[in-house]
Amino acid sequence: MNSLNKQQKIAVETVNGPILILAGAGSGKTRTLTQRIAYLIEHHHATSDNILAVTFTNKASNEMKERIVQLLKLKPGSEKVFLPWVGTFHAICVQILKRDGQEIGISRYFSIYDTTDQKDVVRKVLKKLNLNDKKTNPNAVLSMISSAKSELITPEAYKSMARGYFEQIVAEVYPIYQDMLGENSALDFDDLIMKTVELFQKNPKILEKYQNIFKFILIDEYQDTNNAQYVFSKLLADKNQNICVVGDDAQSIYSFRGANITNILSFEKDYPKAKIIKLEQNYRSTKKILEASNQIISKNPEQKKKVLWTENSDGEGIMIYEAMDEKDEAEWISQEVRQLILNNVSPSEIAVLYRTNAMSRNLEEALLTANVNYRIVGGVRFYNRAEVKDVLGYLRILFNPDDTVGLQRIINVPKRGVGAKTIEKFTLLANEQRKSLLKYLLDTQKTSPDELPKSLQDFARIVAKLIDLSSKQPVSELIEDVIEFTGYKAELQQTSEGETRLENIQELKSLAKKFDQLDYMTGLEKFLEEIALIESSYEATKDEEEHITLMTVHAAKGLEFEHVFIAGMEENLFPHANSKYDPQELAEERRLAYVAVTRAKKQVYVSHAESRMYFGSRNSNPVSRFIDDIPEQLLIYCNTFAEKKKDAFSGWSDVDEVDEFKPTTDISKGDLVKHEIFGVGEVVDIDNFVVLIRFSAGLKELALEYVRLEKI
């Protein structure tokens, strides 16, 4: 407790009633949360069983568990007894549905379908509806269904709301998709929360049971909650009102995922007796970085006002570089990065952020040329690698023989001559007997094997053996049995990349070992559960060589680096062009800029280009208004042109930029025009919306939609 500041102590020691902790960037919210949990237990306000702590990522929940163990000085092995309920929304809901889901018809042994499984189901539905999956994108359909579920919209309700051709297609797909999940005793990720809410709403006694269990509820990153998560939380908190939410509306940047900033902005309306505690002391950044970030976010009209401050040093100002084009920008960044590394800055403390992934190419090329090792956050996750998904497919059907989607992934892995027509034929026969395909194959293999082709006889025999072993073998050994008995290992050994792929399976076995001490079927269940709940964010293993990090600003949230580069700070890029006419989207872009700046501990570098090639055309955009928001005394210009640019485009407003700016349209070839930076020039050519002008500084291609020109 001695390590806490005054506001943090208040947050920890305020026990009863609703609490909103507004935790600014770098203000020590995780420390505050874990200390609060420890305080509740140590001072006998609650037992560990009575505390529910919800996070958004497995990484965050694991970190919280580790800190609680340290604070409570728990002995090794006692964590399961003394730790509170800590986990993601999805993980918590899995446990509730495992216990009580049968009340709404959910099997105790349900599978959790990942994105690949979901796509397979959607494709089957589209085929059933005689819709071409090349014309009707399964990803788009899934996205719409996911959005509906995050808003707790049922298939029936969606049908009544559907507008337009595509929504009407989704309205047809949605109910059949749900039926197919049910037939496979499966749920998708969105179902985990939606079905738990349904369970609570339809069964008041079960809701009351969990309200009595969870006397104290803590929710991290509350600004990122969607409607389903909001309703889930509110239902649980309604009885005792002991809900403590932690968040920062200034870092609400995930509306595209369904996050609803209204949840945190309206907390006092939901809980009129709520106590508001602001954590404004920042432990991460310098004073100048915080002043810059405060100025950027202050322009947002709807927010919970707070002003970050720090006892850290003043630090350096914000570095501004005006590049000629995207290549010049990338070269400058790469050289600055190289110089930092030569000055003994660890590469792991350097990040280059950008608004869109499309910007990474030039940066990569420049870094390669400068011989700077880098890593892009993204790529194929471990659990998305084919060999890993194949092994998991086998494990899933051993645990849940009704999992037809899992079955269809591996029924011909390794290749055993089972074609689509064969699968379709025996699926129809299975449906006639009201059995899953696998159960039909296993039963037929026992009673009438000659009714099956040899390929399916062999497959059924192998699976039957593996099912028997699954009740006798720990998970790690079962994985080895799967790749041996199926012939998968032998097949991989014959390929050029076989060694690498087998190494991935060995890594899967290593992960499974921590479940080996459990009862065999329980171990398998928990293993599959953990993997299914791993978040989609990619966490690469550390490279042999240290590297800098390249990522979008969205991906950077929650991270920190000594030195942060923010590339492409131009109007229509950052803020993004899509936000131009929508005040809410523009406000989110501003929050995104705030997040970008507050990732830095020591130094922020901002770059923008006079012209930039993207989407096949060269554009000239004004400097981002977010640079204009930063007070002049905080800026350090790396070239004189940038300073002129700053002066020329000062005065951006999130309120009046759309009304005041009117594109130049009344110019023709040969006209003399005046540009705010380049001065007077002659129009050489006009091609659609791009104008070529000869200035004293040379020829310039400018986008008429965005450039200010005065005809002379």
Burial class (CB in 10 A: 0-12, 13-18, 19+), 394: buried
Q: Which residue has the tokens 């059907």?
A: 397
Q: What is the torsional sign of CA 383, 388, 390, 391?
A: negative
> Choosing from 9, 13, 14, 30, which is the catalytic residue?
30
Tokens, residue 538: 């990619």
Per the omega criterion (within 30 degrees of 0), is the bond before 84 cis?
no
Alpha-carbon distance 245 to 175, whole Å? Answer: 35
- List all residues 6 or more positions away from 655 whose beta carbon is below 8 Å from its beta carbon: none
Q: What is the 3-state secondary structure (H, E, C) of 61-91?
A: HHHHHHHHHHHHCCCCCCHHHHCCEEEEHHH
Alpha-carbon distance 86 to 64, whole Å? Answer: 8
**Residue 700 phi, psi (nearest 5):** -130, 130
- List all residues 6 or more positions away from 573 whose beta carbon is below 8 Å from its beta carbon: 355, 356, 612, 614, 621, 624
> Choosing from 100, 120, 191, 220, which is the catalytic residue?
220
How far is CA 389 from its chain centroid?
Answer: 21
The 3-state DSSP class for residue 292 equals: helix
Active site residue 433: no
> Choosing from 8, 29, 328, 355, which is the catalytic residue?
29
Active site residue 599: yes
Alpha-carbon distance 441 to 457, whole Å? Answer: 8
Per-residue buried b or exposed e for 409-443, using 16+ beta carbons within 10 Å of the residue's own CB: bbbbbeebebeeebbeebbeebeeeebbbbebbbe
Q: Which residue has the tokens 């800026």?
A: 635
> Choosing from 188, 190, 221, 336, which is the catalytic residue?
221
Alpha-carbon distance 472 to 520, whole Å? Answer: 6
Of 605, 386, 610, the closest CA to residue 502 belongs to 386
The 3-state DSSP class for residue 24 equals: coil
> Choosing from 65, 375, 409, 599, which is the catalytic residue?
599
- The CA angle 308-312-315, to the nearest 5 degrees, is 100
Alpha-carbon distance 193 to 150, whole Å? Answer: 8
CA distances from 404 to 147, 183, 447 (A): 25, 9, 21
Q: Which residue has the tokens 């200010």?
A: 708
DSSP state of 602: E
527 within 8 A of 475, measured Cβ to Cβ = yes
Active site residue 591: no
Write out the DSSP string of 333-386. Answer: HHHHHHHHHHTT--GGGEEEEESSGGGHHHHHHHHHHTT--EEES-S--GGGSH
310 within 8 A of 286, measured Cβ to Cβ = yes
Active site residue 30: yes
> Choosing from 32, 251, 549, 552, which is the catalytic residue?
251
Say how many Å lie between the first and final Cα of the chain, rounded.
69
Q: Tell me which residues are annotated as active site.
A: 29-30, 220-221, 251, 599
